[in-house]
């Protein structure tokens, strides 16, 4: 395998003047240009238009028209069929989308193919099936009857309206698909605002959605930064925001949603996810687990582990083997099919990760491996393992969202449990052990929205996902998403 060349259609797409996608068509947009940079080289590859007030108004007007037009009343099976056709088109354009994604995010091409496109296809197919399973219930009221009258009641789940989906830069296809897939399946319309760092794939997917038969206005894309997101949430026409991003931005989004006429908010936020290995897990198994939990896509995965706890009797050997494994990772051009570890996704994040390296040094932690930027163009750093000697170490408590695993030794299992939970966050956690009984005793006591046992990071559309504590409110996918995207209406009939 070797470095692949960009397909002609990818080159042509990157060369276009990008803006927004509104009412079934690309819109150039008159706002300021935002440059999109390839993080593997540090060079611009395209630009988008920041949304103006007029762009936001146009997107909301088109989305409202589509919602009140036919979409909310389209038979569920037909909404599902549209999503299935879109899933097929994503697969047909798999390589094109993967190459655009790798060019804008630095994700290795293999991960763009398998984790972005293929996973998004799986999720869209799941939502397509869910469209026909959105049901209420029948209820027998106990209201008094004076003249023999009786009562029956039932509930309906009705789409909330326009859902604003705000997406971060780490998984621009998959996370957008969670949001518009949920919206379209439930009869809502959707306006997605991608990250200003990675806006391009969704503009292409919106075109494919039109080709798949998604009616104009049902899926709009508004490009831009935080201001575009704020405007969409504050707009009178929008009914719900589904936000994925950092904790501080999420809190701001939740606040502005409440202030804007109680707009509903689902918040999928960051975290500092714990990974604990019981004493029975040998060093080789632990190393494989650490790589799976902490280093996929350069650790830029919300669900990734960052707080690693190893038994004191195992930690030295495990970290020695981990150093070798990290040194063996093939770092390089993300368009090279052999590359296992690419660049960080943008310059701001690269600067932030370098500050964490400096902090680790200044606070006297042990850098077991890495801790450096690489001398090459683009935003490359080494995968990094850092050992701290107390639970208060800042690196063990602040989200880096990068390829930095922080390690602490523990002595007994009750201490391990406290370490798991001694964080304000609770998105994910994983416990590694060969002792299933112990695992089942731990699981209910771990404070996280998802707890994996002997695995980490992998998400399935049928299994709900979301955070507890400061990692968020609400759940995506599984059957849980239906509650978040619909209103429950009660109907009582006297007869
Ligand atoms: P971010 O919070 O900086 O930005 C996320 C999105 O919000 C972007 O599209 C941005 O333009 C927009 N935005 C910024 N300010 C806004 C505002 N005031 N109102 C509305 N929108 C606004 O996050 P990021 O740096 O893009 O992504 C990294 C973070 O996302 C990490 O903290 C990571 O843990 C988190 N994340 C969480 C999940 C999850 O499912 N829980 C998934 C992926 C990433």
In the prediction, which pLDDT does 262 show? Answer: 73
What are the residue boundaries of the structural domains of the chain, listed by start? 8-269+471-492, 273-461
Closest approach atom of ligand 1 to CA 399:
32
DSSP symbol at 375: S
Closest approach atom of ligand 1 to CA 471:
41
CA-nearest residue, atom 23 of ligand 1: 245
Q: Which of these is catalytic: 101, 302, 399, 476?
A: 302
Structure-token match 């650490």, residue found: 290
Distance 269 CA to ligand 1 centre (A): 7
Mutate to test the pocket of ligand 1, among 178, 195, 245 (most ligand atoms within 8 A of CB): 245
Distance 173 CA to ligand 1 centre (A): 14
Architecture of domain 8-269+471-492 in this structure: 3-Layer(aba) Sandwich (3.40)
CA-nearest residue, atom 12 of ligand 1: 226
Q: What is the pTM of this model?
A: 0.97
Q: Give bridge partners of residue 381 from the DSSP assignment.
A: 373
In the prediction, which pLDDT does 261 show? Answer: 80
Distance 321 CA to ligand 1 centre (A): 34
Distance 439 CA to ligand 1 centre (A): 32
- Residues of the chain scoring pLDDT < 70: 1
Would you state the structure tokens that stand for residue 285, as one six-digit string?
């198994």
CA-nearest residue, atom 30 of ligand 1: 245
268 carries an active-site annotation: yes
188 carries an active-site annotation: no
Distance CA 294, CA 290 (A): 6
Closest approach atom of ligand 1 to CA 270:
34
Distance 167 CA to ligand 1 centre (A): 6
Q: For residue 158, with 0-12 CB atoms within 10 Å meaning exposed, 13-18 middle and 19 or more buried, which class applies?
A: middle
Distance CA 360, CA 354 (A): 10
In the prediction, which pLDDT does 320 show? Answer: 98
**Residue 335 Ramachandran class (φ > 0 left, ψ -120 to 50 alpha, else beta):** alpha
Contact residues for 77 (Cβ-Cβ < 8 A; gap 6+): 131, 132
Distance CA 484, CA 469 (A): 18
Distance 137 CA to ligand 1 centre (A): 36
Would you state the structure tokens that stand for residue 270, as one six-digit string?
């960051």
**Could you tell me the CATH superfamily of domain 273-461?**
Aldehyde Dehydrogenase; Chain A, domain 2 (3.40.309.10)
Q: Which of these is catalytic: 101, 268, 306, 470?
A: 268
Distance 353 CA to ligand 1 centre (A): 17
Q: For residue 106, with 0-12 CB atoms within 10 Å meaning exposed, 13-18 middle and 19 or more buried, which class applies?
A: buried
Contact 216, 190 (CB under 8 A): no
From the CA atom positions of the chain, what is the Rg in Å?
Answer: 24
Ligand 1: residues whose CB is within 6 Å? 166-170, 193, 195-196, 225-226, 229-230, 244-246, 249, 252-253, 268-270, 302, 399, 401, 427, 467, 472
Mutate to test the pocket of ligand 1, among 51, 168, 448 (most ligand atoms within 8 A of CB): 168
Helix spans in 281-401 (H): 283-294, 315-328, 347-362
In the prediction, which pLDDT does 1 show? Answer: 63
Mutate to test the pocket of ligand 1, among 104, 116, 249, 302 (most ligand atoms within 8 A of CB): 249
Q: What are phi and psi of 377, to 5 degrees?
A: -60, 160
Closest approach atom of ligand 1 to CA 253:
19
Distance 268 CA to ligand 1 centre (A): 9
CA-nearest residue, atom 43 of ligand 1: 302
């Amino acid at each position: 395998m070797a470095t692949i060349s960009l397909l002609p259609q990818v080159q042509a797409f990157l060369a276009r003047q990008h803006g927004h996608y509104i009412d079934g068509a690309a819109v150039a947009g008159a706002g300021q240009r935002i440059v999109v940079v390839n993080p593997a080289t540090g060079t611009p590859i395209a630009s988008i238009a920041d949304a103006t007030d007029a762009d936001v108004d146009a997107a909301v007007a088109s989305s409202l028209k589509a919602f009140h037009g036919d979409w909310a009343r389209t038979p569920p099976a037909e909404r599902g069929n549209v999503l299935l056709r879109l899933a097929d088109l994503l697969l047909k354009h798999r390589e094109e989308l993967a190459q655009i994604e790798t060019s804008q995010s630095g994700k290795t091409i293999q991960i763009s193919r398998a984790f972005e496109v293929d996973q998004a296809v799986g999720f869209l197919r799941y939502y397509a099936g869910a469209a026909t399973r959105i049901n209420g219930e029948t209820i027998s009221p106990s209201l008094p009857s004076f003249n023999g009258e009786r009562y029956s009641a039932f509930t309906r789940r009705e789409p909330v309206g326009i859902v604003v989906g705000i997406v971060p830069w780490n998984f621009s296809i998959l996370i957008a698909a969670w949001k518009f897939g949920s919206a379209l399946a439930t009869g809502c319309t959707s306006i997605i605002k991608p990250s200003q760092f990675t806006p391009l794939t969704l503009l292409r997917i919106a075109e494919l959605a039109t080709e798949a038969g998604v009616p104009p206005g049902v899926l709009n894309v508004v490009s831009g930064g935080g201001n575009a997101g704020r405007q969409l949430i504050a707009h009178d026409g929008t009914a719900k925001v589904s936000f994925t991003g950092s904790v501080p931005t999420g809190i701001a989004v939740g606040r502005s949603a409440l202030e804007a006429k109680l707009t509903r908010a689902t918040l999928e936020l960051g975290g500092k996810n714990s990974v604990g290995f019981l004493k029975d897990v040998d060093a080789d198994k632990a190393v494989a687990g650490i790589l799976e939990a902490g280093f996929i896509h350069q650790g830029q995965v919300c669900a990734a582990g960052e707080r690693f706890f190893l038994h004191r009797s195992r930690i030295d050997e495990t970290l020695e083997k981990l150093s070798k494994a990290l040194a063996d990772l093939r770092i390089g051009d993300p368009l090279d099919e052999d590359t296992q570890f690419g660049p960080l996704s943008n310059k701001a994040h690269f600067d932030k990760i370098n500050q964490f390296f400096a902090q680790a040094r200044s606070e006297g932690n042990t850098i077991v491996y890495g801790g450096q930027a690489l001398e090459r163009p683009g935003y490359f750093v080494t995968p990094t393992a850092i050992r701290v000697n107390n639970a208060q170490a800042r690196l063990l408590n602040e989200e880096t969202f990068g390829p930095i695993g922080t390690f602490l030794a523990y002595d007994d299992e009750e201490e391990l449990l406290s370490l798991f939970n001694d964080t304000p966050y609770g998105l994910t956690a994983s416990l590694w052990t060969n002792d299933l009984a112990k695992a089942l005793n731990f699981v209910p006591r771990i404070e996280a929205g998802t707890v994996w046992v002997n695995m980490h990071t992998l998400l399935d559309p049928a299994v709900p996902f979301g955070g507890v504590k400061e990692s968020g409110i609400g759940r995506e996918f599984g059957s849980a998403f239906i509650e978040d995207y619909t209103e429950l209406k009660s109907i009582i009939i006297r007869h």
